[in-house]
Amino acid sequence: MATRIMNRRNFMKSGLAGVGGLLLVTSRPKETKATQQKIISRTLGNTGMRVPIVSMGMVSVGNQGLVRAALDAGIVYIDTAHTYHRGQSEELVGEVVKGRSRESYVVSTKVGFGRAAASMITGLYTAEATEEAFLKNVDVSLKRLGMDYVDILYHHNPWRRESALYEPALKAMEKVKKSGKARFLGVSYHRNEVEVTQAAIDSKLYDVIMIPCNFKQKNYVEVRQAIAKAANAGLGIVAMKVMGGIPAQDPLKPFNASAALKWVLQDSNVHTSVPGFGTFEEMKIDLAVMEDITLTDSEKDYLKTASITPGLYCQGCGQCVKQCIAQLPIPDLMRAFMYTYGYQRPAMAKELVVSLGLPSRLCEDCGTCPVKCSIGFDVPRKIQDVARLRDVPAEFIV
């Protein structure tokens, strides 16, 4: 704890405090380094909002002090979601920003129709996904945040073109923007990056995309091309999943978060990132990247080695889903496995696993499993391992 307090004090003393004022001048160069504060900022596409290249994703955060410290250290943009921590994340953000000038920070939340409203297998919405349901969720989120509006409202996790362009969602989002409850609209997705990015461009509605981007993606060239296309079309680009699912605690190959984050930010089409820090120690590493994205020789060496090391990052290719006899949502389960053993966030993994509404018996009745993962994961072993979280009481998980 002493270390954490020291870290926080260091941030406060670092001279970065108070940098959070938003500059809405679109004519500035695409990238600037403030002279007094060394934070690198980029413009989030045609929204015109300038934000530091490192932002705060709330998926791992349950601590008001961490959010306060992040804002005081120069973070401007905080991203949460309707579903994070069963709504408590939005409440937490609302509490922290109380009393701060509304112009000094950017807040986004992500809203969908609920898991039951989309097929786990096809990703297509069902009849439960109505405009009314979406609008109701937006109002619940704003109430939890204690805000009249969010800066960006994301359509949460449609991973098919048809879903990203699903008319009830688009109609609802248009209404939200028109009523002033969101300044800008976005779409965030965990897989099928190229297809959904093209849909976002074609929609002429979305202003921002939140897209997975990391050095472990097999299709990173295509992802980079899609990002460039979206940036050229004026969309703001927020990178997520930037760490690429490398186990955090392997003593033989210690994870280098700084290298992973810098790799993503080398691309100036990526305007900001949500690296998902959940502790003061992790934040310290990411804040240093906010000031300097130069890859050191040792970081380059690390990336070379780690890029060919088997990791925990599911590519979301969907090959396994078609092969699975029980049609389980395998990519989501692999994500939960990565949260547990890569990010060391079992609570987050449990929340995801429980939300999937899985059958009680998993992978026990198939005999030989026909699933061949494209990157060699032992899928049934990982499923059975992570599914045990369902039975662990929440109070035993940190």
Residues within the interface to ligand SF4 (CB under 6 A):
314-320, 324-326, 328, 330-331, 334, 363, 366, 369-371, 373-375, 377, 379-380, 383
Phi-psi region of 397 (alpha: psi -120 to 50; beta: other; left: phi over 0): beta
C-alpha 130/C-alpha 212 separation (Å) is 27
For the CB of residue 241, give the shortest distance to ligand SF4 in the complex, in Å.
13
- Residue 361: CB atoms within 10 Å: 9
Cα torsion 297, 302, 304, 310 to 10°: value is 180
**Alpha-carbon torsion, ordered 266, 272, 277, 283, to 10 deg:** 80
Least separation in angstroms between residue 320's CB and ligand SF4 is: 3
Residue whose structure tokens are 């700084």: 258
Instruction: Examine the residue annotation and report whether 105 is marked as an active-site residue of this protein.
Output: no
For ligand SF4, the closer of residues 196 and 371 by Cβ is 371
Q: Which is nearer to ligand SF4, 112 or 316 (CB)?
A: 316
Contact 72, 37 (CB under 8 A): no
Query: Which residue lies nearer to ligand SF4 by CB, 208 or 371?
Result: 371
CB nearer to ligand SF4: give 346 or 380: 380
- What is the rounded CA–CA span in Å between residue 134 and residue 218? 34
Place of tokens 């949260």: 339
Give the type of residue at 174. E
Smallest distance from the beta carbon of 311 to ligand SF4, in angstroms? 11
At its nearest, how many Å lie between ligand SF4 and the CB of residue 313? 8
Q: Which is nearer to ligand SF4, 365 or 395 (CB)?
A: 365
Taking Cα atoms as reference points, which of 97, 22, 39, 28 lies closest to residue 293?
39
Distances in whole angstroms, Cα of residue 155 to Cα of each of 114, 135, 141, 317: 11, 11, 13, 21
Q: ∠ CA(103), CA(106), CA(109), 5° rounding?
A: 140
Q: Which helix (H) or strand (E) holds 110?
A: strand 106-111
CB 88 within 8 A of CB 126: no
CB count within 10 Å of CB 25 equals 9
Going from the C-alpha of 330 to that of each of 35, 238, 250, 335, the distances in angstroms are 48, 25, 25, 8
Q: Are 108 and 155 in contact (CB under 8 A)?
A: no
Whole-angstrom CA distances from 370 to 122, 279, 315, 356, 375 are 19, 40, 19, 22, 15
Question: CB count, 10 Å around CB of 62?
Answer: 16
Choose, from 77, 84, 166, 339, the residue flagged as catalytic.
Answer: 84
Question: CB 326 → ligand SF4: shortest distance, Å?
Answer: 4
Nearest distance in Å: CB 368, ligand SF4? 8
In the bound complex, what is the minimum distance in angstroms from residue 310's beta carbon to ligand SF4? 12
Return d(Cα 154, Cα 47) in angstroms, integer.
Answer: 14
Smaller CB separation from ligand SF4, 265 or 352? 352
Nearest distance in Å: CB 215, ligand SF4: 16
Nearer to ligand SF4, 19 or 358 (CB): 358
Is 110 or 191 the residue whose CB approaches ligand SF4 more closely? 191
- List, by residue number, the catalytic residues: 84
